[in-house]
Structure 1
Amino acid sequence: MDWFLDLKARPDCRQTEQDFQAWLSRSPLHETAWDQALKAWMLLGEVPPVYEHVWRPTSSVASLPQRRRWRQWTVGAGLALAASALILLAGPSLLIRWQADHITRTAESRTLKLEDGTVIEMGGDSAIATEITASVRRVTLLSGEAFFDVAHDTLRPFTVDAGGVAIAVLGTAFDVQLADNETTVELARGTVAISYAGPEHKENFELSPGEMAAIDRRTGAVERSVIAPEDIAAWRSGRMFVNDITVGAAVERLQRYHQAWISVPDPALAARRVTGLYDLKNPDSALEALVKPFGGKVREVTSYGRVLSRF
Protein backbone atom coordinates (compact mmCIF):
# COMPACT_ATOMS: atom_id res chain seq x y z
CA MET A 1 0.00 0.00 0.00
CA ASP A 2 2.93 2.36 0.62
CA TRP A 3 4.13 1.72 -2.93
CA PHE A 4 0.59 2.35 -4.18
CA LEU A 5 0.59 5.78 -2.54
CA ASP A 6 4.10 6.61 -3.78
CA LEU A 7 3.27 5.71 -7.37
CA LYS A 8 0.04 7.69 -7.21
CA ALA A 9 1.79 10.74 -5.75
CA ARG A 10 4.67 10.60 -8.30
CA PRO A 11 3.25 9.02 -11.46
CA ASP A 12 6.02 10.40 -13.72
CA CYS A 13 9.00 9.78 -11.43
CA ARG A 14 11.37 7.30 -13.13
CA GLN A 15 13.33 6.69 -9.92
CA THR A 16 10.15 5.74 -8.03
CA GLU A 17 9.22 3.32 -10.82
CA GLN A 18 12.69 1.75 -10.81
CA ASP A 19 12.67 1.36 -7.03
CA PHE A 20 9.19 -0.15 -7.19
CA GLN A 21 10.19 -2.67 -9.87
CA ALA A 22 13.26 -3.65 -7.83
CA TRP A 23 11.09 -4.22 -4.76
CA LEU A 24 8.48 -6.12 -6.79
CA SER A 25 11.01 -8.54 -8.29
CA ARG A 26 12.69 -9.21 -4.95
CA SER A 27 10.11 -11.74 -3.72
CA PRO A 28 6.89 -13.49 -4.86
CA LEU A 29 5.38 -12.28 -1.59
CA HIS A 30 5.79 -8.71 -2.82
CA GLU A 31 3.74 -9.47 -5.93
CA THR A 32 1.04 -11.03 -3.73
CA ALA A 33 0.99 -7.99 -1.46
CA TRP A 34 0.76 -5.69 -4.48
CA ASP A 35 -2.19 -7.64 -5.88
CA GLN A 36 -3.92 -7.35 -2.48
CA ALA A 37 -3.39 -3.59 -2.49
CA LEU A 38 -4.99 -3.29 -5.93
CA LYS A 39 -7.92 -5.46 -4.87
CA ALA A 40 -8.45 -3.29 -1.79
CA TRP A 41 -8.54 -0.20 -4.00
CA MET A 42 -11.10 -1.77 -6.30
CA LEU A 43 -13.20 -2.72 -3.29
CA LEU A 44 -12.97 0.85 -2.01
CA GLY A 45 -14.64 1.94 -5.23
CA GLU A 46 -17.12 -0.96 -4.95
CA VAL A 47 -16.10 -1.98 -8.45
CA PRO A 48 -16.63 -5.64 -9.44
CA PRO A 49 -13.28 -7.22 -10.37
CA VAL A 50 -14.15 -7.38 -14.07
CA TYR A 51 -10.51 -6.63 -14.88
CA GLU A 52 -9.17 -9.59 -12.93
CA HIS A 53 -7.18 -10.63 -15.99
CA VAL A 54 -5.32 -7.33 -15.68
CA TRP A 55 -4.22 -7.54 -12.06
CA ARG A 56 -3.75 -11.31 -12.27
CA PRO A 57 -2.15 -11.98 -15.69
CA THR A 58 -2.26 -15.56 -17.01
CA SER A 59 1.39 -15.49 -17.96
CA SER A 60 3.85 -15.33 -15.09
CA VAL A 61 6.67 -14.30 -17.45
CA ALA A 62 5.20 -10.91 -18.39
CA SER A 63 7.93 -8.35 -18.80
CA LEU A 64 8.51 -5.67 -16.21
CA PRO A 65 7.70 -2.81 -18.62
CA GLN A 66 4.36 -4.50 -19.38
CA ARG A 67 3.67 -4.91 -15.66
CA ARG A 68 4.43 -1.25 -15.12
CA ARG A 69 2.02 -0.23 -17.85
CA TRP A 70 -0.93 -2.32 -16.62
CA ARG A 71 -0.34 -1.33 -13.02
CA GLN A 72 -0.27 2.35 -13.95
CA TRP A 73 -3.48 1.84 -15.92
CA THR A 74 -5.08 0.03 -12.99
CA VAL A 75 -4.17 2.83 -10.57
CA GLY A 76 -5.55 5.46 -12.96
CA ALA A 77 -8.74 3.50 -13.58
CA GLY A 78 -9.16 2.85 -9.87
CA LEU A 79 -8.82 6.57 -9.10
CA ALA A 80 -11.43 7.49 -11.71
CA LEU A 81 -13.86 4.78 -10.61
CA ALA A 82 -13.49 5.57 -6.92
CA ALA A 83 -13.91 9.30 -7.59
CA SER A 84 -17.18 8.58 -9.38
CA ALA A 85 -18.36 6.39 -6.51
CA LEU A 86 -17.43 9.04 -3.95
CA ILE A 87 -19.50 11.65 -5.81
CA LEU A 88 -22.50 9.31 -5.90
CA LEU A 89 -22.24 8.43 -2.21
CA ALA A 90 -21.43 11.89 -0.81
CA GLY A 91 -24.02 13.15 1.69
CA PRO A 92 -27.61 12.01 2.14
CA SER A 93 -29.35 10.62 -0.93
CA LEU A 94 -31.59 12.82 -3.05
CA LEU A 95 -34.61 10.90 -1.79
CA ILE A 96 -33.73 11.64 1.84
CA ARG A 97 -33.15 15.30 1.00
CA TRP A 98 -36.57 15.44 -0.61
CA GLN A 99 -38.27 13.84 2.41
CA ALA A 100 -36.37 15.65 5.18
CA ASP A 101 -37.27 18.84 6.98
CA HIS A 102 -33.88 19.08 8.67
CA ILE A 103 -30.46 17.72 7.59
CA THR A 104 -26.93 17.82 9.02
CA ARG A 105 -23.67 17.34 7.15
CA THR A 106 -20.80 15.01 8.05
CA ALA A 107 -19.50 15.76 11.58
CA GLU A 108 -22.10 18.53 11.99
CA SER A 109 -24.48 18.67 14.96
CA ARG A 110 -27.62 20.76 15.19
CA THR A 111 -30.21 21.58 17.88
CA LEU A 112 -33.86 22.16 17.01
CA LYS A 113 -36.82 23.26 19.11
CA LEU A 114 -40.21 22.12 17.81
CA GLU A 115 -43.48 23.99 18.19
CA ASP A 116 -44.53 21.80 21.15
CA GLY A 117 -41.35 22.63 23.09
CA THR A 118 -39.55 19.35 22.29
CA VAL A 119 -35.79 19.75 21.76
CA ILE A 120 -33.99 17.56 19.21
CA GLU A 121 -30.20 17.32 18.91
CA MET A 122 -29.12 15.87 15.57
CA GLY A 123 -25.81 14.07 15.07
CA GLY A 124 -23.58 14.11 12.00
CA ASP A 125 -24.96 13.16 8.58
CA SER A 126 -28.51 12.85 9.90
CA ALA A 127 -31.95 13.72 8.54
CA ILE A 128 -35.41 13.96 10.07
CA ALA A 129 -38.95 14.78 8.97
CA THR A 130 -41.35 16.34 11.49
CA GLU A 131 -45.12 16.54 11.83
CA ILE A 132 -46.49 18.59 14.72
CA THR A 133 -50.22 19.36 14.64
CA ALA A 134 -53.04 19.88 17.13
CA SER A 135 -53.48 16.11 17.41
CA VAL A 136 -50.19 14.54 16.27
CA ARG A 137 -46.55 14.73 17.28
CA ARG A 138 -44.45 12.58 14.96
CA VAL A 139 -40.81 12.57 13.86
CA THR A 140 -39.28 10.24 11.29
CA LEU A 141 -35.54 9.60 11.59
CA LEU A 142 -34.52 9.15 7.96
CA SER A 143 -30.79 8.66 8.59
CA GLY A 144 -28.19 9.03 11.30
CA GLU A 145 -28.85 9.74 14.96
CA ALA A 146 -30.82 12.15 17.16
CA PHE A 147 -31.39 12.79 20.86
CA PHE A 148 -34.94 13.74 21.86
CA ASP A 149 -35.94 15.70 24.97
CA VAL A 150 -39.72 15.47 24.61
CA ALA A 151 -42.10 18.01 26.10
CA HIS A 152 -44.80 16.34 28.20
CA ASP A 153 -48.27 16.28 26.64
CA THR A 154 -50.77 13.64 27.83
CA LEU A 155 -53.14 14.38 24.95
CA ARG A 156 -50.54 14.02 22.20
CA PRO A 157 -48.11 11.10 22.51
CA PHE A 158 -44.81 11.74 20.77
CA THR A 159 -43.73 9.09 18.24
CA VAL A 160 -40.41 8.56 16.52
CA ASP A 161 -40.21 6.22 13.53
CA ALA A 162 -36.72 4.87 12.75
CA GLY A 163 -36.66 2.35 9.94
CA GLY A 164 -40.06 0.95 10.87
CA VAL A 165 -39.26 0.81 14.60
CA ALA A 166 -41.75 3.03 16.48
CA ILE A 167 -40.84 4.68 19.80
CA ALA A 168 -43.85 6.20 21.60
CA VAL A 169 -43.64 8.50 24.65
CA LEU A 170 -45.50 11.23 26.49
CA GLY A 171 -42.53 13.15 27.90
CA THR A 172 -39.02 11.72 28.17
CA ALA A 173 -35.42 11.89 26.91
CA PHE A 174 -33.85 9.26 24.69
CA ASP A 175 -31.41 8.70 21.82
CA VAL A 176 -32.18 6.89 18.55
CA GLN A 177 -29.59 5.60 16.07
CA LEU A 178 -30.52 4.33 12.62
CA ALA A 179 -28.15 1.97 10.76
CA ASP A 180 -28.62 -0.09 7.61
CA ASN A 181 -30.14 -3.08 9.39
CA GLU A 182 -30.45 -2.00 13.00
CA THR A 183 -32.21 0.60 15.14
CA THR A 184 -30.79 1.40 18.59
CA VAL A 185 -32.61 3.22 21.39
CA GLU A 186 -30.93 4.53 24.57
CA LEU A 187 -33.21 5.83 27.34
CA ALA A 188 -32.07 8.63 29.65
CA ARG A 189 -35.33 9.58 31.38
CA GLY A 190 -38.94 8.41 31.56
CA THR A 191 -40.33 5.35 29.79
CA VAL A 192 -40.61 4.49 26.11
CA ALA A 193 -42.76 1.90 24.36
CA ILE A 194 -41.05 0.30 21.36
CA SER A 195 -42.81 -1.65 18.64
CA TYR A 196 -41.68 -3.22 15.40
CA ALA A 197 -43.63 -5.35 12.95
CA GLY A 198 -41.53 -7.02 10.26
CA PRO A 199 -42.66 -9.40 7.50
CA GLU A 200 -42.38 -12.44 9.79
CA HIS A 201 -41.95 -11.04 13.30
CA LYS A 202 -43.42 -8.56 15.74
CA GLU A 203 -41.92 -6.92 18.82
CA ASN A 204 -43.48 -4.84 21.62
CA PHE A 205 -41.63 -3.91 24.80
CA GLU A 206 -40.76 -1.03 27.12
CA LEU A 207 -37.46 0.43 28.27
CA SER A 208 -36.61 1.95 31.65
CA PRO A 209 -34.02 4.69 32.28
CA GLY A 210 -30.47 3.41 31.87
CA GLU A 211 -31.48 0.72 29.40
CA MET A 212 -30.72 0.41 25.70
CA ALA A 213 -32.07 -1.88 23.00
CA ALA A 214 -30.77 -2.78 19.54
CA ILE A 215 -33.43 -4.10 17.16
CA ASP A 216 -32.29 -6.09 14.12
CA ARG A 217 -34.89 -5.15 11.53
CA ARG A 218 -34.09 -8.19 9.36
CA THR A 219 -34.75 -10.82 12.02
CA GLY A 220 -36.67 -8.94 14.71
CA ALA A 221 -34.04 -9.94 17.28
CA VAL A 222 -33.71 -7.54 20.23
CA GLU A 223 -30.54 -7.10 22.29
CA ARG A 224 -31.19 -5.30 25.57
CA SER A 225 -28.48 -4.08 27.94
CA VAL A 226 -27.67 -1.51 30.63
CA ILE A 227 -25.96 1.74 29.69
CA ALA A 228 -24.31 4.32 31.97
CA PRO A 229 -25.99 7.76 31.95
CA GLU A 230 -22.83 9.45 30.64
CA ASP A 231 -22.69 7.07 27.67
CA ILE A 232 -26.22 7.82 26.44
CA ALA A 233 -25.90 9.91 23.25
CA ALA A 234 -22.17 10.16 23.95
CA TRP A 235 -21.73 11.71 20.49
CA ARG A 236 -23.01 14.99 21.96
CA SER A 237 -19.70 15.26 23.84
CA GLY A 238 -17.56 14.06 20.94
CA ARG A 239 -17.47 10.36 21.84
CA MET A 240 -18.96 7.23 20.31
CA PHE A 241 -20.13 4.47 22.66
CA VAL A 242 -20.67 1.01 21.21
CA ASN A 243 -21.71 -2.14 23.04
CA ASP A 244 -20.91 -5.54 21.50
CA ILE A 245 -21.41 -4.56 17.86
CA THR A 246 -19.42 -5.54 14.79
CA VAL A 247 -16.49 -3.52 13.49
CA GLY A 248 -18.52 -3.00 10.31
CA ALA A 249 -21.42 -1.49 12.27
CA ALA A 250 -19.05 0.71 14.30
CA VAL A 251 -17.44 1.96 11.08
CA GLU A 252 -20.89 2.79 9.73
CA ARG A 253 -21.44 5.05 12.76
CA LEU A 254 -17.97 6.60 12.50
CA GLN A 255 -18.60 7.34 8.83
CA ARG A 256 -21.00 10.10 9.89
CA TYR A 257 -18.08 11.94 11.50
CA HIS A 258 -15.33 11.26 8.93
CA GLN A 259 -14.94 13.26 5.72
CA ALA A 260 -13.28 10.31 3.95
CA TRP A 261 -15.07 7.27 2.59
CA ILE A 262 -14.30 4.21 4.76
CA SER A 263 -14.22 0.63 3.45
CA VAL A 264 -13.72 -2.69 5.29
CA PRO A 265 -13.19 -5.19 2.44
CA ASP A 266 -12.19 -8.02 4.80
CA PRO A 267 -15.41 -9.77 5.95
CA ALA A 268 -13.64 -11.46 8.87
CA LEU A 269 -12.39 -8.12 10.21
CA ALA A 270 -15.77 -6.46 9.66
CA ALA A 271 -17.46 -9.24 11.66
CA ARG A 272 -15.28 -8.90 14.79
CA ARG A 273 -17.20 -7.44 17.75
CA VAL A 274 -16.20 -4.43 19.84
CA THR A 275 -17.29 -2.57 22.97
CA GLY A 276 -15.88 0.78 24.02
CA LEU A 277 -15.68 4.56 23.74
CA TYR A 278 -14.10 6.15 20.68
CA ASP A 279 -13.05 9.74 19.95
CA LEU A 280 -15.24 11.33 17.26
CA LYS A 281 -13.07 14.45 17.23
CA ASN A 282 -10.21 12.34 15.82
CA PRO A 283 -11.97 9.74 13.65
CA ASP A 284 -8.72 8.32 12.22
CA SER A 285 -7.53 7.51 15.74
CA ALA A 286 -10.95 6.00 16.44
CA LEU A 287 -10.61 3.77 13.38
CA GLU A 288 -7.16 2.63 14.51
CA ALA A 289 -8.48 1.87 18.00
CA LEU A 290 -11.30 -0.18 16.45
CA VAL A 291 -9.12 -2.54 14.42
CA LYS A 292 -5.80 -2.58 16.29
CA PRO A 293 -6.90 -5.29 18.80
CA PHE A 294 -7.45 -7.61 15.81
CA GLY A 295 -4.17 -6.83 14.06
CA GLY A 296 -5.89 -4.44 11.66
CA LYS A 297 -4.51 -1.31 10.07
CA VAL A 298 -5.98 1.88 8.63
CA ARG A 299 -4.72 2.63 5.10
CA GLU A 300 -5.04 6.19 3.84
CA VAL A 301 -5.55 5.45 0.15
CA THR A 302 -6.25 9.13 -0.56
CA SER A 303 -7.29 12.05 1.60
CA TYR A 304 -10.85 11.00 0.71
CA GLY A 305 -10.54 7.26 1.32
CA ARG A 306 -9.63 4.85 4.11
CA VAL A 307 -9.29 1.07 3.84
CA LEU A 308 -9.31 -1.07 7.01
CA SER A 309 -7.42 -4.32 6.53
CA ARG A 310 -5.32 -6.94 8.27
CA PHE A 311 -2.32 -6.57 5.95
Structure 2
Amino acid sequence: MRRGDSEAADWAAKMHGTPTDKDRAAFDAWHARPGHAEAYVMAEEHYMLGASMSRQRIGARARENASAPGRLRWAVATIAAAGIALGFAWHFKNGRDVEQIAAGPMLPSQLRLADGTTVTLMDGAWAEPQFSETERRVRLHGGRARFDVAHDAARPFIVVAGRSETRAIGTVFEVDVRSATPQVRLITGSVEVRLGGSAKAIRLAPGERAEVPDSGPRLLPEMTSPVGTTMLAADNLPLGAILDAANKLAGKPIRLADPALAQLPVAGRFDVADSESLARKLAAALDLAVDDRGTEIILGKK
Protein backbone atom coordinates (compact mmCIF):
# COMPACT_ATOMS: atom_id res chain seq x y z
CA MET A 1 0.00 0.00 0.00
CA ARG A 2 1.32 3.42 -0.95
CA ARG A 3 1.87 5.94 1.81
CA GLY A 4 -0.95 8.18 0.52
CA ASP A 5 -3.39 5.26 0.50
CA SER A 6 -2.38 4.27 4.03
CA GLU A 7 -2.85 7.84 5.27
CA ALA A 8 -6.23 8.02 3.53
CA ALA A 9 -7.35 4.84 5.28
CA ASP A 10 -6.29 6.29 8.65
CA TRP A 11 -8.20 9.50 7.97
CA ALA A 12 -11.32 7.61 6.86
CA ALA A 13 -11.37 5.73 10.17
CA LYS A 14 -10.76 8.89 12.19
CA MET A 15 -13.35 11.05 10.39
CA HIS A 16 -16.01 8.36 10.80
CA GLY A 17 -15.30 8.28 14.53
CA THR A 18 -15.43 11.32 16.79
CA PRO A 19 -12.95 13.79 15.26
CA THR A 20 -12.04 16.91 17.23
CA ASP A 21 -11.86 20.41 15.77
CA LYS A 22 -8.07 19.96 15.63
CA ASP A 23 -8.53 16.69 13.72
CA ARG A 24 -10.84 18.39 11.21
CA ALA A 25 -8.36 21.21 10.62
CA ALA A 26 -5.52 18.72 10.12
CA PHE A 27 -7.71 16.67 7.78
CA ASP A 28 -8.57 19.72 5.65
CA ALA A 29 -4.86 20.49 5.28
CA TRP A 30 -4.03 16.89 4.35
CA HIS A 31 -7.02 16.59 2.01
CA ALA A 32 -6.00 19.71 0.06
CA ARG A 33 -2.68 18.22 -1.08
CA PRO A 34 -2.45 16.84 -4.64
CA GLY A 35 -3.74 13.30 -4.97
CA HIS A 36 -5.11 13.10 -1.44
CA ALA A 37 -8.71 13.92 -2.34
CA GLU A 38 -8.88 11.00 -4.77
CA ALA A 39 -7.20 8.64 -2.30
CA TYR A 40 -9.67 9.66 0.41
CA VAL A 41 -12.71 8.95 -1.80
CA MET A 42 -11.54 5.37 -2.27
CA ALA A 43 -10.52 4.95 1.38
CA GLU A 44 -13.90 6.21 2.59
CA GLU A 45 -15.68 3.80 0.27
CA HIS A 46 -13.53 0.93 1.53
CA TYR A 47 -14.22 1.92 5.13
CA MET A 48 -17.98 1.81 4.59
CA LEU A 49 -17.75 -1.55 2.85
CA GLY A 50 -15.80 -2.96 5.78
CA ALA A 51 -18.67 -2.23 8.13
CA SER A 52 -20.52 -5.38 7.08
CA MET A 53 -19.01 -8.85 7.17
CA SER A 54 -20.21 -11.64 4.86
CA ARG A 55 -17.68 -14.37 5.56
CA GLN A 56 -20.52 -16.81 6.29
CA ARG A 57 -22.02 -16.17 2.88
CA ILE A 58 -18.73 -16.97 1.16
CA GLY A 59 -18.27 -20.09 3.26
CA ALA A 60 -21.78 -21.28 2.42
CA ARG A 61 -21.07 -20.76 -1.28
CA ALA A 62 -17.90 -22.77 -0.95
CA ARG A 63 -19.72 -25.72 0.64
CA GLU A 64 -22.47 -25.52 -1.97
CA ASN A 65 -20.07 -25.59 -4.91
CA ALA A 66 -17.70 -28.17 -3.51
CA SER A 67 -20.19 -30.94 -4.34
CA ALA A 68 -20.68 -29.81 -7.94
CA PRO A 69 -18.75 -31.76 -10.63
CA GLY A 70 -15.52 -30.07 -11.63
CA ARG A 71 -15.83 -27.37 -8.96
CA LEU A 72 -13.89 -28.85 -6.08
CA ARG A 73 -11.72 -25.75 -6.20
CA TRP A 74 -14.34 -23.93 -4.08
CA ALA A 75 -13.70 -26.27 -1.17
CA VAL A 76 -10.44 -24.37 -0.82
CA ALA A 77 -12.44 -21.19 -0.31
CA THR A 78 -14.05 -22.65 2.81
CA ILE A 79 -10.66 -23.06 4.43
CA ALA A 80 -9.60 -19.66 3.12
CA ALA A 81 -12.76 -17.79 4.19
CA ALA A 82 -10.90 -15.89 6.89
CA GLY A 83 -8.37 -14.67 4.34
CA ILE A 84 -11.10 -13.71 1.90
CA ALA A 85 -12.85 -11.69 4.61
CA LEU A 86 -9.68 -9.61 4.93
CA GLY A 87 -9.90 -8.64 1.30
CA PHE A 88 -7.48 -11.00 -0.43
CA ALA A 89 -8.12 -12.13 -4.01
CA TRP A 90 -8.20 -15.84 -4.88
CA HIS A 91 -7.78 -17.25 -8.37
CA PHE A 92 -9.00 -20.69 -9.44
CA LYS A 93 -9.10 -22.52 -12.75
CA ASN A 94 -11.37 -25.41 -13.72
CA GLY A 95 -10.92 -27.99 -16.48
CA ARG A 96 -11.97 -25.41 -19.06
CA ASP A 97 -9.20 -23.08 -17.94
CA VAL A 98 -11.71 -20.37 -16.94
CA GLU A 99 -10.31 -18.20 -14.22
CA GLN A 100 -12.50 -17.22 -11.28
CA ILE A 101 -11.84 -14.34 -8.92
CA ALA A 102 -13.20 -13.93 -5.41
CA ALA A 103 -12.82 -11.12 -2.91
CA GLY A 104 -14.09 -10.46 0.57
CA PRO A 105 -16.02 -7.53 2.06
CA MET A 106 -13.41 -5.99 4.36
CA LEU A 107 -11.19 -4.50 1.66
CA PRO A 108 -11.90 -4.40 -2.08
CA SER A 109 -9.57 -6.39 -4.30
CA GLN A 110 -8.38 -4.83 -7.53
CA LEU A 111 -7.31 -7.09 -10.35
CA ARG A 112 -6.22 -6.57 -13.94
CA LEU A 113 -7.69 -8.85 -16.60
CA ALA A 114 -5.84 -10.11 -19.66
CA ASP A 115 -7.14 -7.27 -21.85
CA GLY A 116 -6.01 -4.56 -19.41
CA THR A 117 -9.44 -4.01 -17.84
CA THR A 118 -9.31 -3.30 -14.10
CA VAL A 119 -11.95 -4.95 -11.89
CA THR A 120 -12.48 -3.86 -8.29
CA LEU A 121 -14.46 -6.50 -6.37
CA MET A 122 -16.32 -5.41 -3.23
CA ASP A 123 -18.62 -6.82 -0.55
CA GLY A 124 -17.84 -10.48 -1.14
CA ALA A 125 -18.23 -10.37 -4.92
CA TRP A 126 -16.80 -13.10 -7.13
CA ALA A 127 -16.51 -13.12 -10.89
CA GLU A 128 -15.79 -15.38 -13.88
CA PRO A 129 -14.02 -13.81 -16.88
CA GLN A 130 -14.98 -15.63 -20.10
CA PHE A 131 -13.12 -14.07 -23.00
CA SER A 132 -13.36 -15.13 -26.64
CA GLU A 133 -12.17 -13.74 -29.99
CA THR A 134 -15.44 -11.82 -30.46
CA GLU A 135 -16.35 -10.59 -26.96
CA ARG A 136 -15.15 -10.13 -23.41
CA ARG A 137 -17.72 -11.51 -20.98
CA VAL A 138 -17.57 -11.47 -17.18
CA ARG A 139 -20.13 -13.13 -14.90
CA LEU A 140 -20.55 -11.34 -11.57
CA HIS A 141 -21.94 -13.20 -8.57
CA GLY A 142 -22.93 -11.31 -5.44
CA GLY A 143 -21.55 -8.13 -3.95
CA ARG A 144 -20.58 -5.16 -6.08
CA ALA A 145 -17.85 -4.51 -8.66
CA ARG A 146 -16.39 -1.58 -10.55
CA PHE A 147 -15.14 -2.12 -14.09
CA ASP A 148 -12.59 0.22 -15.71
CA VAL A 149 -12.83 -1.25 -19.20
CA ALA A 150 -9.92 -1.25 -21.63
CA HIS A 151 -10.97 0.01 -25.07
CA ASP A 152 -11.35 -2.68 -27.72
CA ALA A 153 -13.87 -1.78 -30.42
CA ALA A 154 -13.65 -5.27 -31.95
CA ARG A 155 -14.62 -7.03 -28.70
CA PRO A 156 -17.42 -5.49 -26.61
CA PHE A 157 -17.16 -5.93 -22.84
CA ILE A 158 -20.26 -7.54 -21.29
CA VAL A 159 -20.99 -8.01 -17.58
CA VAL A 160 -23.66 -10.60 -16.79
CA ALA A 161 -25.16 -10.16 -13.31
CA GLY A 162 -28.32 -12.08 -12.48
CA ARG A 163 -30.84 -11.28 -15.20
CA SER A 164 -28.95 -8.23 -16.45
CA GLU A 165 -26.39 -7.64 -19.17
CA THR A 166 -24.30 -4.46 -19.33
CA ARG A 167 -22.39 -3.83 -22.57
CA ALA A 168 -19.50 -1.38 -22.94
CA ILE A 169 -16.42 -0.85 -25.10
CA GLY A 170 -14.27 1.50 -23.02
CA THR A 171 -15.75 3.07 -19.91
CA VAL A 172 -16.05 2.93 -16.11
CA PHE A 173 -19.17 1.58 -14.44
CA GLU A 174 -20.36 -0.33 -11.38
CA VAL A 175 -22.67 -3.35 -11.13
CA ASP A 176 -24.42 -4.09 -7.83
CA VAL A 177 -26.01 -7.48 -7.17
CA ARG A 178 -26.34 -7.23 -3.41
CA SER A 179 -30.13 -7.42 -3.83
CA ALA A 180 -32.38 -9.55 -6.03
CA THR A 181 -32.62 -6.81 -8.66
CA PRO A 182 -29.27 -5.94 -10.29
CA GLN A 183 -28.35 -2.26 -10.51
CA VAL A 184 -25.86 -0.50 -12.81
CA ARG A 185 -24.27 2.92 -12.27
CA LEU A 186 -22.29 4.63 -15.04
CA ILE A 187 -19.31 6.74 -13.97
CA THR A 188 -17.74 7.71 -17.31
CA GLY A 189 -18.32 6.77 -20.93
CA SER A 190 -21.45 4.99 -22.13
CA VAL A 191 -23.06 1.59 -21.54
CA GLU A 192 -26.15 -0.27 -22.67
CA VAL A 193 -28.16 -2.19 -20.08
CA ARG A 194 -30.61 -4.93 -21.06
CA LEU A 195 -32.43 -7.99 -19.76
CA GLY A 196 -30.45 -11.08 -20.74
CA GLY A 197 -31.72 -12.53 -24.01
CA SER A 198 -33.69 -9.38 -24.90
CA ALA A 199 -32.97 -6.84 -27.62
CA LYS A 200 -34.54 -4.01 -25.61
CA ALA A 201 -31.81 -1.88 -24.00
CA ILE A 202 -31.39 1.52 -22.39
CA ARG A 203 -28.26 3.66 -22.69
CA LEU A 204 -26.92 5.38 -19.59
CA ALA A 205 -25.20 8.75 -19.38
CA PRO A 206 -22.50 9.43 -16.76
CA GLY A 207 -24.04 9.63 -13.29
CA GLU A 208 -27.20 7.71 -14.25
CA ARG A 209 -28.33 4.46 -12.63
CA ALA A 210 -30.57 1.66 -13.82
CA GLU A 211 -32.08 -1.48 -12.38
CA VAL A 212 -33.03 -4.65 -14.24
CA PRO A 213 -36.17 -6.36 -12.92
CA ASP A 214 -37.95 -9.17 -14.81
CA SER A 215 -39.88 -6.58 -16.81
CA GLY A 216 -36.69 -5.11 -18.31
CA PRO A 217 -34.22 -2.30 -17.57
CA ARG A 218 -35.39 1.08 -16.27
CA LEU A 219 -33.71 4.27 -15.17
CA LEU A 220 -33.62 5.05 -11.46
CA PRO A 221 -34.24 8.56 -10.14
CA GLU A 222 -31.29 10.59 -8.92
CA MET A 223 -30.38 9.86 -5.32
CA THR A 224 -31.22 12.64 -2.89
CA SER A 225 -30.41 12.89 0.79
CA PRO A 226 -33.34 13.11 3.27
CA VAL A 227 -31.34 15.62 5.35
CA GLY A 228 -30.48 17.85 2.39
CA THR A 229 -26.72 17.37 2.62
CA THR A 230 -24.53 19.74 0.61
CA MET A 231 -21.65 17.26 0.41
CA LEU A 232 -20.70 16.19 -3.09
CA ALA A 233 -18.57 13.12 -3.83
CA ALA A 234 -16.74 13.59 -7.13
CA ASP A 235 -15.24 10.70 -9.06
CA ASN A 236 -13.43 12.34 -12.02
CA LEU A 237 -16.31 14.79 -12.27
CA PRO A 238 -15.62 17.86 -14.50
CA LEU A 239 -14.71 20.98 -12.55
CA GLY A 240 -17.51 22.86 -14.31
CA ALA A 241 -20.12 20.44 -12.96
CA ILE A 242 -18.90 20.96 -9.39
CA LEU A 243 -19.02 24.73 -9.76
CA ASP A 244 -22.52 24.53 -11.28
CA ALA A 245 -23.69 22.62 -8.18
CA ALA A 246 -22.04 25.13 -5.85
CA ASN A 247 -23.33 28.21 -7.69
CA LYS A 248 -26.93 26.99 -7.45
CA LEU A 249 -26.72 27.59 -3.70
CA ALA A 250 -26.76 30.96 -1.98
CA GLY A 251 -23.02 31.16 -1.41
CA LYS A 252 -20.47 33.38 -3.14
CA PRO A 253 -20.28 32.36 -6.83
CA ILE A 254 -17.09 30.75 -8.16
CA ARG A 255 -16.08 31.58 -11.73
CA LEU A 256 -13.34 30.34 -14.05
CA ALA A 257 -10.87 32.70 -15.67
CA ASP A 258 -10.57 30.29 -18.61
CA PRO A 259 -13.69 28.29 -19.69
CA ALA A 260 -11.41 25.43 -20.79
CA LEU A 261 -10.68 24.72 -17.10
CA ALA A 262 -14.26 23.46 -16.74
CA GLN A 263 -13.18 20.14 -18.27
CA LEU A 264 -10.55 19.38 -15.63
CA PRO A 265 -11.41 16.09 -13.85
CA VAL A 266 -11.87 16.33 -10.08
CA ALA A 267 -11.97 13.59 -7.45
CA GLY A 268 -12.80 14.08 -3.80
CA ARG A 269 -15.54 14.97 -1.35
CA PHE A 270 -16.55 18.63 -1.09
CA ASP A 271 -19.05 20.81 0.74
CA VAL A 272 -20.48 22.83 -2.16
CA ALA A 273 -22.24 25.24 0.22
CA ASP A 274 -18.93 26.67 1.52
CA SER A 275 -17.62 28.69 -1.43
CA GLU A 276 -14.36 29.86 0.15
CA SER A 277 -13.37 26.40 1.40
CA LEU A 278 -14.45 24.78 -1.86
CA ALA A 279 -12.38 27.21 -3.93
CA ARG A 280 -9.28 26.63 -1.79
CA LYS A 281 -9.60 22.85 -2.00
CA LEU A 282 -10.19 22.84 -5.74
CA ALA A 283 -7.26 25.21 -6.28
CA ALA A 284 -4.97 23.00 -4.20
CA ALA A 285 -6.08 19.81 -5.96
CA LEU A 286 -5.74 21.28 -9.48
CA ASP A 287 -2.82 23.67 -8.88
CA LEU A 288 -4.91 26.75 -9.64
CA ALA A 289 -4.82 30.32 -8.32
CA VAL A 290 -7.66 31.74 -6.19
CA ASP A 291 -8.74 35.37 -6.60
CA ASP A 292 -11.39 36.34 -4.02
CA ARG A 293 -12.93 39.59 -5.28
CA GLY A 294 -15.44 39.97 -2.47
CA THR A 295 -18.60 39.36 -4.49
CA GLU A 296 -17.20 36.40 -6.40
CA ILE A 297 -14.22 34.02 -6.50
CA ILE A 298 -12.15 33.48 -9.64
CA LEU A 299 -10.18 30.29 -10.25
CA GLY A 300 -7.46 30.53 -12.87
CA LYS A 301 -4.07 29.26 -13.92
CA LYS A 302 -1.07 30.24 -11.83
Same fold (TM over 0.5): no
Larger Rg: 1
* Greater percentage in helix: 1
Q: What range describes the TM-score normalised by the shorter chain of this pair?
A: 0.3 to 0.5
